[in-house]
A and B are shown apart, each in its own frame.
Chain A
């Protein structure tokens, strides 16, 4: 065992910094702190790091991305600053997107613009050039919003020269934007995906396909105000310089977090597995260490919570030590997880009748959401406390592009499912788990006849499972709902968006902080900057 391999007993009782939670943000944060010279311990409750970004062999020979399944928003600077390529970083860009339709037709978009325009024209001649305009307009918005992703949000309520300078920067950044771009940004950040898309497109399949990005991970339908923000988020990834591009990491997203762990360890981070932090120890309003579940006490000048805001503020520390308004804000912080996964081990690739024996359509996402109405009706079930009877599915057959994921000729298929509200009315997830899996499988069967015969193994992951296994409250995949009052300088609470907490030396760096969820790493990195700046001041 090399000196930096993960251990099950801490090597020391004292560290400069202890990071609670070995998800991707915890690892990123720890790596930056160690890179700056701190001795850092990451404490992870499970037997492996990665949080929700893990890959597990749940059926012999088949690698499942149990939860998170694709990469897009990872900040490019993190790749370079943490030297991830040297540790095996390998995103495989998806070349296509496949959207089956209920009438047996489909929309298949690939890497060639002209071919895509012809494919769109099959459905609507009007929508072909609309696609070009849409993409250009959204990219302009992405270009405007991107710098906000890579900076600590200004403190709206501060009056220090730094706070005022941050606000001045924001004003000037937004003020320099063309009026149309700024207006489009506001329309997306506050409006519905449906309204925004309706301005461009007429074809149901194209709108359904596009609108799907406006609901992922969030308890909104495409027609809900606020779905525009989710749509924008999912356009902001910039793999290899392409906005909105998505990739499968070699070995799944768990392959990615293993890369992060190796990078962190190379900087000297120590990773402690199968150890739960019971609580953060405070003295005179200052964090001084943590106590593990087995009673072990570890001391450190800095404690960083990479878990979600509810656990950060209400479970790891005494809410009584916090300002009442913060506690109130965290108490009403919306999690309301609404996503689930159903993962399959398959004996072969699914067959889509209209494409005969072709399988190249599965090299990217397969989007089961053939119209905005389909998505909105799926949401209707969730509004009233039940899972969608005809759910939206975002499927990924990663073994199509990565032979490490399944035995030769076999496949894994990750299906992200919406809607699956955490709170079911009149039942519970332990009762409904397999019935829910059947519903998803029946939906797949309706698009891919014979699908059921391919299934070797099925794993249903409900929001309750996400909460139990990963620790994300109510199974919210973003560690807190994506909507305007919970974003930017309000994430996770007004006045506490700069990664600090009211307890000196206690910080937050999870996806519940700006800029939020997705495998982005930005919260972990931005928090490390704040921590290091504070340490320099001390």
Chain B
């Protein structure tokens, strides 16, 4: 039987479409009304809220918690002070990515790690003799993301502490009678927050957020709008932009953090004091320059796009719905140089954009690749420029 999140009783009242998908065993709204695009505009323009509760959540606690996570996660968690959070990854021995998530440091010895897939067994198996407990509390909390330019103003009405939160900061606070953790995190690339709330208090907190946000035009948004926003924000999605090495059959389906554009996470990798899973392989990859891919943004040449479709007698489509398949990329001679893992028309950028994996020699910002599109059942190639991720990066996100 499919489960529902602690927010579901209210969300099901708000859904006018009855469109739900199954996410990690829970009902998750695809869209609340018929226009996912308009829900997306809520995020970019006023504010929207999204139920992230299906994420897996683990407390990692104990005297050795920092040491443990420093050895599991590829990004150095020792640089994360209490009250801060980090976007992080973990790899296998070969340096291939297993998964990504966010780690929140609550105190010296207490962390919460969120992830899209179950990881309890994996984490516990790595504990060894350390003084650490890993506890799966996935069902004990709801997570409500409140995202968009007005999100700060809205949440500050409920909890003034929110106003001062820095990017990737978090704080314990109260919404009404409920104790919650509010973090300045999210998956939209906009100004935004996530509220971690004990399941029993989820509904009153949601109601308080709705009451505070409605005058600002805040509205619920579903997965479709989220998946649009995250491509613009250059936020990678497991099973779309990368696969977990754990489930891959061949190395074609595996990717390293460097190949995924996450080399910045490996700062301090040469520190001998911090052995972590995959370190040796990653150092060898960096030293040897053996990365097979670079992950980049692509921005389609609008004139070329219009030309190809118009020539075929068609109105050039500008569809914000992300493609659910890969599009091949070619060089000027027609040689394959990579593929777009995500692709959409971005309403805020007014361009077709994508997240792509290209051979490193084609990864220079400003260089041109040919994107394969199907027009009138024929393959056509349109020019696209390689660009730095994220493609949409408003000042307010970090300001």
Q: Contacts A85-B350, A401-B45 known; A363 to B38 CB distance under 8 Å?
A: yes
Query: Is A360 an interface position by the 8 A CB rule?
Result: yes
- Whole-angstrom distance from the CB of B13 to the nearest CB of chain A? 13
Q: Decide yes or no whether B345 CB sits under 8 A from chain A.
A: yes
Q: CB distance B315 to A95 under 8 Å?
A: no
Tell me the smallest distance from the CB of A490 to a CB of chain B, in Å. Answer: 27
Also in contact, A90 and B348, with CB within 8 A (given A95-B34, A111-B38, A409-B215) = yes
Closest to A80 in B: B302
Near A by CB (< 8 A), chain B positions 290-341 give: 302-303, 306, 315-320
Give, as a whole number of angstroms, the nearest-CB distance from B21 to chain A: 17
Interface string of A138-158 (1 = CB under 8 A from B): 010001000000000000000
Residues A384-441 near B (CB distance < 8 A): 399-403, 408-409
Task: Give chain A nearest CB distance to B209 CB in angstroms.
Answer: 14
Q: Flag the segment in A239-247, A304-312, A466-474 that touches B.
A: A239-247
Interface centre among B37, B38, B214, B351 (most CB of A within 10 A): B38
Q: Which one of B37, B216, B319 lies within 8 Å of A93 (CB-CB)?
A: B37
In the complex the two chains form, what is the Cα distance from A139 to B349 in whole Å?
A: 25
User: Do B34 and A110 have beta carbons less than 8 Å apart?
Assistant: yes
Q: A95-B38, A110-B34 are in contact. Are A240 and B345 (CB under 8 A)?
A: yes
Q: Are B46 and A403 neighbours in the complex by a CB distance under 8 Å?
A: yes
Complex Cα distance A241/B328, Å? 23
Q: Does B168 contact A (CB under 8 A)?
A: no
Residues on A with C-beta less than 8 A from B366 are: none
B367 within 8 A of A: no
A460 to B347, CA, bound (A): 34
Report the contact-size class of chain A (Cβ under 8 Å from the partner).
20 to 34
A77 to B320, CA, bound (A): 19
Which of B46, B318, B348 is the one whose CB lies under 8 Å from A242?
Answer: B318
Determine if A143 and B315 form an interchain contact, defined as CB atoms under 8 angstroms apart: yes
User: Contact between A92 and B41 (Cβ–Cβ < 8 Å)?
Assistant: yes
Residue A112 is within 8 A (CB to CB) of chain B in the complex: yes
Query: Smallest distance from the beta carbon of B34 to chain A beta carbons, Å?
Result: 4
A514 within 8 A of partner (CB): no
Is A495's beta carbon under 8 Å from chain B? Answer: no
B315→A111 contact, CB < 8 A: no
CA distance A400 to B46 in the complex (A): 10
B33 at interface (Cβ–Cβ under 8 A)? Answer: yes
CB of A90 within 8 A of CB of B45, answer yes
Q: Pick the contact of A111 from B37, B216, B318 — CB < 8 Å?
A: B37
Q: Please pick, from B45, B214, B215, the residue contacting A402 in the complex, using a CB distance under 8 A.
A: B45
Q: Is A502 among interface residues, defined by CB-CB distance under 8 A?
A: no
* Chain A positions within 8 Å of B217 at CB level: 399-403
- B349 contacts A111, CB within 8 Å? no
Could you mark each residue 25-36 of chain B with 1 if its beta carbon is under 8 Å from any beta carbon of chain A, else 0? 000000001110
Residues of B within 8 A of A95 (CB): 33-35, 37-38
Would you call A76 an interface residue if the criterion is a C-beta within 8 Å of the partner chain's C-beta atoms?
yes
Q: Are B41 and A241 in contact (CB under 8 A)?
A: no
CB-CB under 8 A from A93, the residues of chain B are 37-38, 41, 347
Whether the pair A240, B34 counts as a contact (CB closer than 8 A) is no
Given contacts A241-B315, A400-B217, contact A115 B345 (CB under 8 A): no
B317 & A241 in contact (Cβ 8 Å cutoff) = yes
Verify A240–B318 contact, CB threshold 8 A. yes
A207 at the interface (CB under 8 A from B): no
* The residue from A84, A111, A402, A403 contacting B35, defined by CB atoms under 8 A apart: A111
Asked whether, in the complex, the Cβ of A112 is within 8 Å of the Cβ of B34, the reply is yes
| In the assembled complex, B150 has its CB within 8 A of some CB on chain A | yes
Bound CA–CA A7/B92 (angstroms):
61
Say yes or no for A250: interface residue by CB 8 A criterion: yes
B350 near A79: Cβ-Cβ < 8 Å: yes
Assess whether A89 is interfacial by the CB under 8 Å rule: yes
Q: B317 to chain A: which residues have CB within 8 Å?
A: 241
Cα–Cα distance between A111 and B224 once the two chains are bound (Å): 15
In the complex, A139→B317 CA distance in Å? 13
Contact A241 B345, beta carbon cutoff 8 Å: yes
**How many Å lie between the Cα of A311 and that of B347 in the bound state?**
38
Closest to A147 in B: B310
- Chain B residues contacting A96 (CB-CB under 8 Å) are 35
Q: Is the CB of A403 within 8 A of B150?
A: yes
Report how far A302 CA is from B83 CA in the complex, Å: 62
CA separation between A206 and B147, bound complex, in Å? 38
Minimal beta-carbon separation of B325 from chain A (angstroms): 20
Please indicate which of the listed interface residues B37, B215, B217 has the most CB atoms of chain A within 10 Å of its own CB.
Answer: B217
CB-CB nearest in chain A for B305: A241
Partner of A403, one of B38, B216, B303: B216
The answer on a CB contact under 8 Å between B350 and A139 is: no
Which residues of B are found within 8 Å of A143, using beta-carbon distances?
A: 315
CA A92 to CA B219, docked complex, whole Å: 15
CA distance A148 to B97 in the complex (A): 53
Q: Which residues of B contact A (CB under 8 A)?
A: 33-35, 37-38, 41, 44-46, 150, 214-217, 302-303, 306, 315-320, 345, 347-351
13 further interface pairs, Cβ-Cβ under 8 Å (given A91-B347, A403-B45): A76-B306, A80-B303, A85-B349, A85-B350, A85-B351, A89-B350, A92-B41, A93-B38, A96-B35, A110-B35, A115-B34, A403-B217, A408-B215
Can you list the 5 inter-chain pairs with the closest CB atoms, starting with the nearest?
A: A241-B318, A408-B215, A409-B215, A112-B34, A95-B35
Q: Could you give 7 example pairs across A and B, Cβ below 8 Å? A: A110-B35, A112-B34, A143-B315, A360-B33, A400-B217, A401-B45, A402-B46
Chain A residues within 8 Å of B, Cβ to Cβ:
76-77, 79-80, 84-85, 89-93, 95-96, 110-112, 115, 139, 143, 238, 240-243, 250, 360, 363, 399-403, 408-409
